[in-house]
Copies of this chain bind each other. A is one copy, B any other.
């Protein structure tokens, strides 16, 4: 699956100059401080956030509890997928866990760019395919692994998450309670 990222990156590198500058024209650099919200529940996700530095967290509220759905580092793109795709109110929040720098692209501007530069349409497809594979993989983990195994796998596959993200968020990302995660960590 990660080989697909390589394919996407080389696809981007091989983009013609016009396409690249079209993409550049609609990008806006922005920075956020630790704790800032890039998107709140019920807002429509009108831009994508290309993360250049820092850490972002996507989460939603369920019974008053925060459930983390994704933890993002540099070179990832953060969007509330359903909200962005359908331009409907978001269930998710996107929050900066550290000071961050992002490159924002407006949804409508990108839609227009896709019709003028078909390579961007292809790129959009590739990225969406990658996201779907990532989700399939995550489903697989929830379907087949218990709490300890999920944590061990995360350690192996995403060491940065273990290193830089508070355990509270890691626990909810893994779908387990804070206390259980604490016990798992004590045991290994």
Contacts and interface: CB of A to CB of B under 8 A. Distances in A.
A133 B67 contact: no
Contact of A132 (B69, B81, B144, B175): B81
A144 B1 CA distance: 27
A82 to B, nearest CB: 5
Q: Interface on chain A toward B: helix, strand, loop, or mixed SS?
A: helix
B62 A144 contact: yes
Contacts of A69: 136, 139, 143
Interface stretch (A100-108, A123-131, A160-168): A123-131
Interface string A106-128: 00000000000010011011001
Contacts of A135: 132, 135-136, 139
Interface in A56-91: 62, 67, 69, 81-82, 85-86
Interface residues of A, number: 28
A69 to B, nearest CB: 7
A11 interface: no
Nearest to A137: B82
Contacts of A122: 121
27 contacts: A3-B86, A4-B85, A67-B144, A69-B136, A69-B139, A69-B143, A81-B132, A81-B133, A81-B136, A82-B133, A82-B136, A85-B133, A86-B133, A121-B121, A121-B122, A125-B125, A125-B128, A128-B128, A128-B129, A128-B132, A132-B135, A135-B136, A135-B139, A139-B139, A139-B142, A142-B142, A142-B143
Interface of A: 1, 3-4, 62, 67, 69, 81-82, 85-86, 118, 121-122, 124-125, 128-129, 131-133, 135-136, 138-139, 142-144, 175
